[in-house]
Amino acid sequence: MSILIFAETWNGKLKKSSFEAISYAKKLSDNLDLKTFTLIFSKLDDSIKLIEEYGSDEIIKYDSIDLESIENDKLAHMMTKTAEKISAKHIIISNTSRGKSICSKIAIDTNSSLITNAIALPTEYKPINIKCKAFSSKAFSYYKSTSDKNVITILPNSVGCETKPSTAKITEGDLDLLNFESNTEILREEKNSSEISLTDAERVVSAGRGLKSPENWKMIEELANLINGGTACSKPVSDMGWRPHSEHVGQTGIAINPDLYIAVGISGAIQHLAGVSNSKKIVVINTDPEAPFFKSADYGIVGDAFEVIPKMIEEIKKIQD
Amino acid sequence: MEIVVCISVVPDTTSKINFTENNTKFDENGITFIINPFDEFCLTKAIFIKEQIGANITVLNVGGSKNDPVLRKSLAIGADKAVRIDAKNLDALTVSKHLSTYIKENNFDIIFCGKESIDYNGGKVPGFISAILNIPFANACVGMKIEGENVIVNNEIDNGIQICKSKKPIVIAGQKGLVEEKELKIPSMRGIMMARSKPLEIIHPKEEIKNNLDITEFKLPKGKSECKMIDSDNIPELISLLKNEAKVL
């Protein structure tokens, strides 16, 4: 009996959400007395070392194939076959785009319960009961599984991660498991210019209509770059085409949960909050002292973004020197 | 072209969320129910396809009669037929199995679902249907076009867009981008009148489907503590608080 973890990579490098998945599985395995197997597509020794850093009994490594070239159904098939081979009871995946696209098929094919958006370790282990995000972060739900096998997806930046150095047994992945005729052909990918994916980002700087025109995003980008964060926007801004849809955070955009969310010139409508209220610390900058967002913020500044943001940039540069 | 749009009925986006029965049930008191916003983008896309190349659009839902007004609204927006599978919404798996049974029996070319519902946020149903029926799946889809037997889809991935080609039938988990927000169809007076004569079929499933998840409890997040206001002339203090108190810089 074991736990299988999918360690997602980006150009061969482990994603931060993968450390969280590995660390989560390690804690789960300590409680259930199960072995952990981490599956990775990477030829980088660093990625293998990092898995050992966060603790895994075995590593199944595919170093001759790029993850980016594998279709979701093929990946799900290969995860299912691997899970059968190692008699996995639980399969841990990050709740990233990739994770969300493969988890349902793995759950059906392995006959497991599927718990998505997990934000904590189980409150009970037999049967498993896990706290998950619900109602667009307006509430939490506790899911109890009635089957003995589970696929669990972990909401990025929610469960934390701890190092637990260990030496893992490393085995080469079985390429036969990838013998599967996919029903999808990947034609091409168009990557965003930003290196930081919003769902994964620890810090996000976001702006709304209060910024008056798209040219004014330069200072938002500068601030975000400075703190190694991503940039986001409110719905009206993406609807007007000032910023790409992929940056729209909120109820109908994407939901994020960074450590720090800086909202500039966003009033804080309930639909916007639905996408960001999971942020650990929120800073609101708005000219209107009555902006509802201040009620949900940790730190607030009533002031003009065009004065406040440049000063913030200057101050952060000082402390970084 | 036969298109089905799976519809989830959810609390309005501005709803205040509360629970009853010792925090085990969602409190529907005073809640307005709407078509799940992600499903709405799918329904409008289906109508665009119908306008361009012709199609029959069925909207499909699993639930009780309280969902009928939302299904009627979908007919008023432009669907041709509504089907409600009268079964308990036990978990995403039971819902998906009910939907899949109907979809399989009725040979659809395109199966649209919102990428997730805004109440339970599970995002499981579209992938489940695709896995149960063993047909292609386009997740977080922000654009699609039909080219003969093939469907070209643009799917949002973490750092961009992936463009894929699959054969029909395909499950498309849609969101904004499939159509723009300003393009969303709303019911016209004529649409509302016409909806009255469109069929709303109710199906009583023969067998009961077992769930494999139970919700044992709901919890509301802890209220935020008071917002600390900082003078706009005192940015060094903000940065110092973020670094030393919040420890996020």
Strand ranges, E, within B76-127: 81-85, 110-114
| Phi, psi of B232, rounded to the nearest 5 degrees | -65, -15
- At B3, the pLDDT band (50, 70, 90 cuts) reads very high
Nearest CA in chain B to A74: B136
Q: Give CA separation, B174 vs A30, A103, A201, B44, in Å.
A: 39, 17, 24, 11
A259 in contact with B, Cβ within 8 Å: yes
> Which of the four pLDDT bands, split at 50, 70 and 90, describes residue A294?
very high
Chain B interface disruption, residue of A70, A101, A302, most B CBs within 10 A:
A101
- In this prediction, residues A89-117 reach a mean pLDDT of 98
Q: Is the pLDDT of residue B225 over 80?
A: yes
Contacting B residues, span 50-79, partner chain A, CB-CB under 8 Å: none
Length of chain B: 249
From chain A, pick out residues whose CB is under 8 angstroms from the CB of B220. 138-140
Is the pLDDT at B224 greater than 90? The verdict is: no
Class of A203-320 in CATH: alpha beta
What integer pLDDT is reported at residue A4 of this predicted model?
98
**Predicted structure pTM score:** 0.95
In the stretch 154-193 of chain A, residues with CB closer than 8 A to chain B read: 183-192
Backbone angles phi, psi at A146, to 5 degrees: -105, 5
Cα B182 from Cα B168, distance rounded (Å): 28
What radius of gyration, in Å, describes the C-alpha atoms of chain B?
21
Q: Which of residues 134-153 of A touch B (CB under 8 A)?
A: 134-147
Chain A partners within 8 Å of B137 (Cβ): 72-73, 101, 105, 184
Closest B-chain CA to A192: B160
pLDDT, residue A268, reads 96
**What pLDDT score does A199 carry?**
85
User: Looking at the complex, does the CB of residue B186 fall below 8 Å from at least one CB of chain A?
Assistant: no
* pLDDT per residue as tens digits for the range B190-205: 999 999 999 999 999 9
Q: Which residues of B are less than 8 Å from A141 in CB distance?
A: 120, 215, 217-219
pLDDT band at residue B158 under the 50/70/90 scheme: confident
Query: What is residue A196's predicted lDDT score, i.e. its pLDDT?
Result: 79
Mean pLDDT of A2-9: 97
pLDDT tens readout for residues A190-210: 987 766 788 889 999 999 999
A20-29: average pLDDT: 96
| CB atoms B248 and A281 under 8 Å | yes
Q: What mean pLDDT comes out for the span A215-227?
A: 96
Of B119, B162, B177, the CB nearest to A186: B162
**Domain A2-178 is of which CATH architecture?**
3-Layer(aba) Sandwich (3.40)
Could you report the per-residue pLDDT of B82-141, keeping only the tens digit for each? 999 999 999 999 999 999 999 999 999 999 999 999 999 999 999 999 999 999 999 999
pLDDT average, residue stretch A117-139 = 95
Using a pLDDT cut of 70, give the percent of chain B over it: 100
pLDDT, tens digit, 9 for 90 and up, residues A129-146: 999 999 998 999 999 999
DSSP notation for A187-253:
EEEEE-S-SS-TTT-SEEEEE-GGG-SGGGHHHHHHHHHHTT-EEEE-HHHHHTTSS-GGGBBSTTS
Nearest Cβ partner for A144 among B159, B216, B242: B216
Chain A, chain B: beta-carbon pairs less than 8 Å apart: 250
CATH level 3 topology of B2-224: Rossmann fold (3.40.50)
Over range B174-198, report the average pLDDT. 95
What is the predicted pLDDT for the residue at B159?
Answer: 82
Domain residue spans in chain B?
A: 2-224
Among B137, B70, B241, B139, smallest CA distance to A98 is for: B139
Mean confidence (pLDDT) of chain A: 95
Contact A301 B161 (CB under 8 A): no
Whether residue A271 and residue B220 make contact (CB cut-off 8 A), yes or no, is no
Q: What is the pLDDT of residues B25-57, one digit of tens each?
A: 999 999 999 999 999 999 999 999 999 999 999
Q: Are A198 and A249 in contact (CB under 8 A)?
A: yes
Average of per-residue pLDDT values in chain B:
96
Question: Quick one: average pLDDT of A253-268?
Answer: 95
Per-residue exposure over B219-247, b if at least 16 CB sit within 10 Å of its own CB, e if not: eeeeeeeebbebebeebeebbebbeeebe
Residues A224-256: tens digit of each pLDDT: 999 999 999 999 999 999 998 889 999 889 899
Helices and strands (DSSP H and E) totals, chain A: 8, 18
pLDDT of residue A108: 98
CB within 8 A of B160, min separation 6: which ones?
A189, A190, A191, A192, A246
